Amino acid sequence: MSLLPNFKLELPTDLKEAISELAGGNVVIAAGATRVLLMSYMHILRPEVVVSIRRIGLREIKVSDELEVEANVTLSAVARNERVRKEFPLVAASASHVADPLVRNKATVVGNVVNAVPYSSMVPAFLLMDGKAKVVGPSGPREISAKDFFVGPLETAQRPDELVTSLTFRRVEGEWGFTEFRTDSQLPIINVGVLRNKKGKVRVAYTGLTAMPNLLDLGTMPSDFRGGYREVRNILQDLSTQVLDDLRSSAEYRLHLASVLTARLLEGMGR
Amino acid sequence: MTDIERVDALDKVTGRALYVYDLKFPGMLYAALVKSTVPHGIIKKVDPSRALAREGVEAVITGSQLSHVRAGIYIQDRTPMAAEKVRYLGEPVAAVLARDLRSAREAAEMVEVDYHELSAVVDPREALREGAPLVHEKLQEYHRYQEIKPLPNSNVANVFRLRKGDAQSILQRSDLVVEDTYTEAMISHAYMEPMSVIAWWNPDGTLELWTSAQSPFAVRNLLSKALELSESRIVVHVPYVGGGFGGKAGLHLELLVALLSKAVGGRPVKLTLSREDNFYVAPSKVGVSAEGKVGLSKEGKILALMVNYLVDAGAYADYAVNVGKTMGYIGAGPYDVPNVWIDSTTVYTNKPFATAFRGFGILEAHWVVERLLETASRKLGVDPVQFRLMNRLRPGSTTSTGQRITEGSGDLAKCLQVAADMVGWGSRKSSSHPTYVGRGVALAMKGPSVPPYNSAQAYLKFNEDGTLDVSVGTTEIGQGTMTSIVQLVAEEFGIQPNKVRVDLVKDTSRSAYTWQTVGSRSLFYDGNAVLAAVDDAKSQIRRIASKVFNVEEEEISIGGGKVFVKGGSRALDLKDVVMGYVTANGNVIGSPVVGRGSFVVPDLTYLDSQGQGNPFPVITFGAQSVEVEVDVLTGVVKVNKYVGVFDLGRVVNRGLAMDQLVGGAVMAISLALNESIKFDEGGAILNPNLVDYKVAEIGDVNDNLIGVFLENPDPKGPRGARGIGENALLGIPAAIGNAIYDAIGVSVRDLPITPERLWREIRAQRPELLEV
Residue B645 CB neighbours (<10 A): 27
Q: CB–CB of A247 and B274 under 8 A?
A: no
Rounded to the nearest 5°, which phi and psi values hold at B440?
Answer: -140, 150
Nearest to B274 among A2, A225, A256 (CB): A2
Of A185, A230, A253, the CB nearest to B691: A185
CB distance A185–B276 less than 8 Å?
no
**Residues A189 and A249 reside in one and the same domain:** yes
Residue B133 lies in a domain: no
In a domain, A3, yes or no: no
Domain boundary among B600, B632, B663: B600
- Residue A258, in any domain of the structure: yes
Contacts made by residues B602-608, CB under 8 angstroms, sequence distance 24+: B604/B450, B604/B452, B605/B452, B606/B147, B606/B451, B606/B452, B607/B147, B607/B162, B607/B329, B607/B401
Q: B268 with B316, same domain?
A: no
Q: Do A3 and B676 touch (CB under 8 A)?
A: no
Nearest by CB to A1, which of B272, B687, B689? Answer: B272
CB contact at 8 A, B591 and B481: no
Q: Which domain holds residue A238?
A: 174-270
Round to whole Å and give the CA distance between B164 and B168: 11
Q: Which residues of B touch A226 (CB under 8 A)?
A: 772
Decide which of B244, B272, B300 is a domain's last residue.
B272
Distance CA B42, CA B629 (A): 51
Number of domain units in chain B: 3
Structural domain for B557, as ranges: 455-600
Is B184 within a domain? Answer: no
Q: In what order do the strands lie in the sheet with A49-52?
A: A8-10, A49-52, A27-30
Q: What is the mean pLDDT of each run of 10 residues along chain B (772 residues)?
A: 90 96 97 98 98 98 97 96 98 98 96 98 97 96 93 97 98 98 98 98 97 98 97 97 97 98 98 96 98 97 98 98 98 98 98 98 98 98 98 97 96 98 96 97 97 97 97 97 97 96 97 97 98 98 97 96 91 96 96 98 96 97 98 98 98 96 98 97 95 91 95 97 97 98 98 98 98 91
Residue in chain B lying closest to A228 (CA): B772
Q: Residue A34: its chain B contacts at CB < 8 A? A: none
- Give the pLDDT confidence of A82-96 residue by residue, as tens digits: 999 999 999 999 999
Which of A187, A248, A253 comes nearest B759 by C-beta?
A253
Q: Is residue A247 part of a domain?
A: yes
Claim to verify: residue A73 and residue A123 sit in the same structural domain: yes
Residue A266 falls inside a structural domain: yes
**At A263, which CATH number?**
3.30.390.50
Among A170, A197, A229, give the residue marking a domain's end: A170
Residue count of chain B, please give it: 772
* Residues B443, B372 share a domain: yes
Query: Before B434, cis peptide (omega within 30)?
Result: yes
**Surface of B (266-325) touching A: CB under 8 A:** 272, 274-276
How large is the average pLDDT for residues A55-60? 97
- Judged by a CB distance cut-off of 8 A, whether residue B134 touches chain A is no
Instruction: Characterize the bridge pairing of strands B302-314 and B112-117.
Output: unpaired
Interface test with B, best of A183, A231, A259 (most B CBs within 10 A): A183
Give B716→chain A minimum CA distance, Å. 43
Tell me whether residue A140 is in a domain: yes
Mean confidence (pLDDT) of chain A = 94
Query: Which residues of A have a CB under 8 Å from any CB of B?
Result: 1-3, 6, 38, 41-42, 100, 181, 183-187, 225-226, 229-230, 247-250, 253, 256-257, 260-261, 263
A75 in the same domain as A113: yes
Looking at the structure, tell me whether residues B526 and B492 fall in a common domain.
Answer: yes
Which CATH number belongs to the domain containing residue B473 in this structure?
A: 3.30.365.10
Confidence band, pLDDT 50/70/90 cuts, at residue A1? low
pLDDT of residue B174: 98
Counted domains in chain A: 3
**Closest C-alpha among B381, B385, B384, B412 to residue B396:** B412
pLDDT tens track for A142-192: 999 999 999 999 999 999 999 999 999 999 999 999 999 999 999 999 999
Assigned domain for A2 exists: no
Chain A residues near residue B194 by CB distance under 8 angstroms: 1
CA distance B209 to B198: 6
Whether B634 contacts chain A with CB within 8 A: yes
Q: Which residues of B touch A100 (CB under 8 A)?
A: 697, 699
Task: Tell whether A80 and A181 lie within a shared domain.
Answer: no
CATH number at residue B219: 3.90.1170.50
B291 belongs to a structural domain: yes
* A96 and A180 co-located in one domain: no
Does a structural domain hold residue B151?
A: no
Domain final residue pick, A153, A170, A187:
A170
Q: CA-CA distances (angstroms) from residue B449 to B158, B290, B356, B444, B663?
A: 17, 21, 11, 15, 21
- Across the interface, do A184 and B759 touch by the CB < 8 Å criterion? no
- Chain B contact set for A186 (CB, 8 A): 690-692, 694
Same domain for A71 and A116? Answer: yes
Q: Give B-chain residues touching A249 at CB under 8 angstroms.
A: 756
B443 and B476, same structural domain? Answer: no
Domain boundary among B562, B577, B600: B600
Say whether A186 and B194 touch across the interface (CB within 8 A): no
Residues A66 and A166 grouped into a single domain = yes
Contact state of A253 with B756 under an 8 Å Cβ cutoff: yes
Q: What ipTM was reported for this prediction?
A: 0.96
The reply to whether A104 falls in a domain is yes
CATH number at residue A111: 3.30.465.10
Q: For A242, which DSSP code?
A: G
Q: How many degrees, rounded to 5, is the angle at CA B459 between CA B456 and CA B465?
A: 155
Q: Do B759 and A256 touch (CB under 8 A)?
A: yes
Q: Report the pLDDT value the prediction gives residue B1, as an integer from 0 to 100.
A: 61
Asked if residue B319 and residue B381 are part of one domain, the reply reads yes
Looking at the fold, whether B694 and B642 belong to one and the same domain comes out as yes
Helix orientation angle between B384-391 and B362-380, rounded to the nearest 10 degrees: 120
Residues A161 and A178 in one domain: no
Q: Does B55 touch chain A (CB under 8 A)?
A: no
Residue B244 within any structural domain of the chain: yes
B616 and B653 part of one domain: yes
Task: Indicate if the pLDDT at residue A271 is higher than 90.
Answer: no
My answer on whether B490 and B592 are in the same domain is: yes
Helix axes B732-744, B654-673, angle to 10 degrees: 60
Residue where one domain finishes, among candidates A170, A199, A226 = A170
Residues B459 and B437 in one domain: no
Largest CA distance in chain A: 56
Contact B772 A230 (CB under 8 A): yes
Q: Same structural domain for residues A133 and A195? A: no
